[in-house]
Amino acid sequence: MHTVFRIDEIRQVDKKCPLYQVDLKLTSDDDQQLRRLTDRIRQETSGSTGWHRMGQLLLKIGQFDKAEELYTALLEQASNDSAKAYIYNQLGEMKNGKGQYTEAASFYEMSLEIYRRTLPEDHLSLANIYNNIGLAYYNMGDYSKAVEFHKKTIKIKEKTLSPDDPDLALSYNNIGGVYNNMGDYSKALEFYEKSFKIREKALPPNHPDLAQSYNNIGGVYNYMGDYSKALEFYEKAHKILEKALPSNHPDLAIFYNNIGQVYNSMGDYSKALEFYEKSYKIYEKTLPSNHPHLATSYNSIGQVYNNMGDYSKALEFYEKSFKIREKALPPNHPDLAQSYNNIGGVYNYMGDYSKALEFYEKAHKIDEKALPPNHPELATSYNNIGAVYKNMGDYSKALEFYEKSHKIFEKALPSNHPSLATSYSNIGEVYNDMGDYSKALEFYEKSHKIREKALPSNHPHLATSYNNIGAVYKNMGDYSKTLEFYEKSHKIREKALPSNHPDLANSYNNIGLVYGNMGDYSKALSFLEKALSILQKSLPPNHPYIIMVTNSINNVKKKM
């Protein structure tokens, strides 16, 4: 018939009968790219029987429940070890797709047991099983185990496959993912690029695996703080995925989440929310309600609300994420630590420091067990605990944790990474509170130089830099310099943040206090009242910041 179709949906016509209806969308007759893609997918979904090919296809398009029904039925009919080993592996693939990683590992191990008895040690089927077990450990957060199995896979594949085989690319990609999560970004990039070079030669230009490569390389650049590079690679991935996959495929959701992450890092919170919600809608339709990817979605949306200063919304989404992770993941999984960290962060912003410390310390215990000693997440953990001690006025403790954090960031990240800027800024803040203004200025200026290079000109973190430098000049009694930096900070915050964000209140408060010190009490009162109005909308009524601003207003009124 010489017609090319896109598969839109597959559904079983009657549960009592193994008959499926496949909905197709007609494409143009001369869609050469789609033909190449279809030919490639036919190769990838090969199998000894039609049912095996159907199972492969169901897994490929994310129809995991239907794949489970099919493979369970095939297992009952399996007559030899070879068939059983294959089906155990496919059931593992299905469980992995559904986010049930321990069950996936269990099926893979059953398959491995049979293959070890029946195959030579460098057989490709063994490599594939090692790969799958590596993926299961990766998803469970056990990265050293994951690396161990991926290395076994690569050893076999490098012996038995040609150097431009897409299966070798897959293995390089997988080990790259583990190194990325371990915070070893140069190693991650090395393997992702090896994978990409093979895929570029071997696959059609709109193949989903090429999109995966672009997506992964983009992810490393995002972690390294190079947001424009990250966005460039994510957009390349998106162009392919939109053409190659159904509109509700989980891989599209992963992409939307990643691009949202870049916009969040760049301070464009409305864009970030737009992409995170696109991701969430797909996951909600296609995944079980306790799938870890749904938890990631809730967590991401919570992060944006946190950055926008809407702490009650942030807490709501962080807790939804935590409930899923608590059920679905092992107790020492890094994603659980992330949840504890995020919830702790909200309590810190809301002024409940004992609660914040409780959650931060839970996160830290997991990070210490689960991550290598120089992982950036461990640095974040030290940083968070330091922030609470600073807010509690325990400056020596704060400095101790901030410096632990900084040492890791210096080793693990490029010299112009925004997280290093935050680290310098935090240390500067402690010195400022301790009255060591020259030290404070030194660290704030280091922070500002990085942010000026790494971030867009209207990023909220740049506003924080100006604000911090202004605070030091205020403490040194140089009010004209102070006002200059506070106003620079305020201009950015007015553009970048919602009108009721606590950081905007911080700007009004700081400018008001300077006018008070300069004896201009009517100006001081005007700015302080603007600050209080925002804080009363965005923070709990007994928050220390509200009490502080109220006291400042009363003091100005007395002087008037």
Residue 367 predicted with pLDDT over 80: yes
In 3D space, the residue among 368, 340, 365 whose CA is nearest the CA of residue 355 turns out to be: 340
Name the architecture of domain 499-560. Answer: Alpha Horseshoe (1.25)
- pLDDT of amino acid 106: 93
The pLDDT tens digits for 100-150 are 888 999 999 999 999 999 999 999 989 999 999 999 988 887 888 999 999
Residue 41: pLDDT band with limits 50, 70, 90: low
- pLDDT of amino acid 266: 82
- pLDDT of amino acid 531: 95
The pLDDT tens digits for 75-89 are 888 778 888 888 899
Contact call for residues 86 and 132 (beta carbons, < 8 A): no
Q: 3-state DSSP: the chain helix, strand, coil percent, rounded to 5?
A: 75, 5, 20
Residue 219: pLDDT band with limits 50, 70, 90: very high
- pLDDT of amino acid 10: 60
- pLDDT of amino acid 245: 81
Sign of CA dihedral 141, 142, 143, 147: negative
Residue 347 predicted with pLDDT over 60: yes
Contact call for residues 385 and 417 (beta carbons, < 8 A): no
Average pLDDT for 456-478 = 92
Distance CA 466, CA 469 (A): 5
Location of structure tokens 């450990």: 137
- pLDDT of amino acid 182: 82
Residue 523 predicted with pLDDT over 90: yes
pTM above 0.75, yes or no: no
Residue 16 predicted with pLDDT over 80: no
Average pLDDT for 448-472 = 91
- pLDDT of amino acid 183: 78
Residue 47 is which amino acid?
Answer: G
Percent of the chain beyond pLDDT 90? 60
- pLDDT of amino acid 81: 82
Residue 44 predicted with pLDDT over 70: no
Q: Which residues contact 24 (CB under 8 A, 6 or more apart)?
A: 5, 6, 7, 8
Residue 167 predicted with pLDDT over 50: yes
The pLDDT tens digits for 349-366 are 999 999 999 999 999 999
User: 17: which DSSP letter?
Assistant: E
Contact call for residues 135 and 174 (beta carbons, < 8 A): yes
Q: What angle do CA 65, 71, 72 make, to 5 degrees?
A: 90
Average pLDDT for 418-429 = 93
Residue 18: pLDDT band with limits 50, 70, 90: low
Distance CA 307, CA 291 (A): 25
Q: Among 23-37, 302-316, 502-516, which stretch is predicted with the lowest mean pLDDT?
A: 23-37
- pLDDT of amino acid 1: 43
The pLDDT tens digits for 188-203 are 999 999 999 999 999 9
Average pLDDT for 279-304 = 93
Residue 30 predicted with pLDDT over 90: no
3-state secondary structure 426-466: HHHHHHHHCCCHHHHHHHHHHHHHHHHHHCCCCCHHHHHHH
DSSP bridge partners of 24: 7
Residue 36: pLDDT band with limits 50, 70, 90: low
Six-digit token string for 421: 């800027």
- pLDDT of amino acid 4: 59
Average pLDDT for 463-486 = 95
Six-digit token string for 147: 């690396």
Q: Which residues contact 239 (CB under 8 A, 6 or more apart)?
A: none
Distance CA 25, CA 7 (A): 6
Residue 301 predicted with pLDDT over 80: yes
- pLDDT of amino acid 334: 87
